[in-house]
Structures are given as structure tokens and as C-alpha cells.
Amino acid sequence: MRYDAIIVGGGAAGLIAACALALRGRRVVLLEKQPRVGRKLLSTGNGRCNLTNLRASAGDYHGARAAAQAALKAWPPKKVMGFFEGLGVPCVPDEAGRVYPMSRQAASVLDALRLRCAEAGVEICTDFAVSSLVCPGDGFEARAADGRAASGRCALVCTGGLAAPKLGACGDGYRLLEGFGHRVTPRFPAIAALKTPPDAVRALKGIRAEGEIALLADGEALRTEAGEALFSETGVSGIAAMQLARLATQVMNRGGRCEVRLNLAPGLDAAALLSHRAKQLPERTMEDFLNGIVPRRLGQALAKSAGLEMSLAAKRLSDKQIARLAGALGGWTLPVTGVQGFDQAQVTAGGASLKDFDIRCMQSLRAPGLFAAGEVLDVDGDCGGFNLQWAWSSALMAAEGIDSVLAKDCRIHQ
């Protein structure tokens, strides 16, 4: 059977494109190499699926921002919400603009996409790893290593990137697109934990603390994020820290020196706070002095970084020592030695160059009828629903583009 469209990749972008095309009456086959579709989607938003963000703008994206802006214009967050509500998924925004399914369950989103695909007649082939995608004539043929094949007038590549290989990421899409002459920009982990010298953080494994985290390059603050820092035995994680990974990698790749600075008392006069505390708790030693302001073990690490003995009582603190401790509380600085790899990253930076696509519809400029969407392309967003918004909007644009090609074919043959 010849299909109207072959979709390679059963993640967020592939599923929504399949839905959109099938709802327009197109015959669609979706090819997924994993035993089931949507595995990575289930992990988004800590399992709650942060669908989009009402405040999304081009400034929330990196790489080909013009393409991100075009996608936001064609399919803005409220229009995406409307699509999901049409699938039976009511959407609820929070105070920060993040949008979730009313159920707060990623499984609800995946089930809605799968159900609508089934209802609309999409054929889903799992365990189908596409080894080649060719254009033998008027259309495309996808072939698996075991000899199975599927052919269609158009093809959409939305295989994702390299992040989270345990969920199926492997970069197949880059190879398929390169086969048609597409260029691929350098790829590296985005939204990933920062590595620091292990000795500085090993004792803090599992501790969480709210504050501000700034990335410094050669002493200059490049970006500051507010939120939670989560310490591990190798560095600092948590959304606020992970947002800095992309920029840290870029700085280090050009030979720059990176540090991360943690302000654990934002908006406060740390010196005044500690001076008052020393008078209030004169017998309290540095081992416990900061307990209550920050977790106990973190307070000990800060006192140590300020050069204070754990046995030193608060009443014996000099003005200089208070100033040093305040400096640690409001600006503990650690060298950044690297970024966690793709196995722990949430998103891939870089990908297939948008210079080779018509960003109004995501159609290839090198192979008419070939489209791409989602993480395989050189667009990545910050945390907060921006990457799923890109997946949905770019895929829905591609679906409209495919439908337009098919409609044009129909008019020609009438």
C-alpha cells in the first residue's frame, strides 16, 4: 500500500503530525523503532507533561530562532492548547504560564494522541528501525534492515535528537537527512547538569536549595537563573543549573573558563543577616550556624569555603569572617569542569540546519516532499514547555505543508 505520508519517528512531533494529517483524511503510516511510541513524552515535566508555555517567544529558543518564531506565529501556544482540547485533553496553565493537561499525567497526553491516531486510521508500525530513506521517483521509500518497506508521496523525519538514549535517541534522523544533502550543525547536550570538582560537592549529594545560579565566563556573569539547585556527587543539577548547560558548553568549546555562582540568600543583606544571627545564637558553632537558612550540610560546606573552623562559635566571629561567610552564602563560586552527557541531558542543541528548509512549512529545499520537525532540527528551547511547543508547532506546520503538497498533486491530476 502506498501512503500519502510516511512519518519516521513516533515521538511527540511524529504523533501529532500523524493525528493532524489523518484528521484531514490522509493515509499515514508512522514508523517507530522502539517497541512502543511516545516513551520520551512520558518523562516530560516530571511525568506531568508540560505541554507548552503561554509566554513562549523566540527569545526562549536557541539555534535557528527565525524558525522558532515562524512556528510560534503559525501555531502559538493557545492554538496548540485548542488542538489538544479537541483530542479530549483539557489544558490548565499555572502562574508561570506553563501549561499541563488537567490530569497532570503525561500518559493522558500520549493516550489521547494514540487513540486519535487509531480512530483516524493511522497505521503505527513499531520495532521498525528505518535504515534507509530514498526518493526513487515520485515519492519516498523507507526501508528497515529486515527488508520491510513503506512508501509514500511525502516523508516527515521527526526522530528526535541525541538526548536520552535510554528512551531511544540515537541520531538516526541526521543520517537520513544527510542522505538528501542536508547539513547538520554540531550537536551537544542542552538542559543538563553542570559538573564541578567532586570534592566540593560530594558530601552534598541529594541536597536541594532555592536561590539564584549565575554562569560566569572569565569572571563575567553571562546568565542568571532562579530556582532550585540539586547537588550530586559530581556537580549541580536542578532546572536552574541545567538551564546554564548550553551556554557553559559554548564557552568551554571556545576555550573559556566557566564558573557557577550560587546565591542562597537572594534579595537579602547576607552580612546583616549573619551579624544579627551571631548575636542571637552566640554559642552556635559553624557546624550548625547556617542550619535553617540552608540545609545543615550545605551550611557546613559554605563555612568551610569561607575558611572557618567547624568548632568556631558565632560569638567569636570577626567582622571579616562574617563578611567572608556572607560572601559564601550570597555567592558561593565553583569551577565548572564540564556538562553531563547526552545520557542525562533533556534536549539536544544543534541539528539539521534550517537553512535547508522552508521555515514556513518545514519542507526541504533539497528534496521536495521531504519534511522534518522537532528536535532533529537545529532549534532547542529553555525549560518550561518550550521544547514541546516547538515539537508540536513545527510538526503541525509540517503536516499542513504535506497536506498542501498532496492537495496540489490532486489538482494537477484532475
Query: Tens of pLDDT along 1-53?
Result: 799 999 999 999 999 999 999 999 999 999 999 999 999 999 888 889 999 99
Question: What was the pLDDT predicted at 219?
Answer: 86
d(CA 329, CA 320): 14
134: cell is 530514498
**What is the full DSSP assignment across 198-240?**
HHHHGGGTT-EEEEEEEEEETTEEEEEEEEEEEE-SSEEESHH
Q: Is 115:102 a contact under the CB 8 Å cutoff?
A: no
Question: What was the pLDDT predicted at 409?
Answer: 79
CATH H-level superfamily of 2-188+349-413:
FAD/NAD(P)-binding domain (3.50.50.60)
281 has a pLDDT exceeding 70: yes
Question: What was the pLDDT predicted at 46?
Answer: 83
Where in the chain are all domains bearing CATH 3.50.50.60? 2-188+349-413
Q: How far is CA 241 from the centre of its chain?
A: 13
Mean pLDDT of the chain: 96
Question: What was the pLDDT predicted at 414?
Answer: 61
Question: What was the pLDDT predicted at 411?
Answer: 72
Question: What was the pLDDT predicted at 1?
Answer: 75
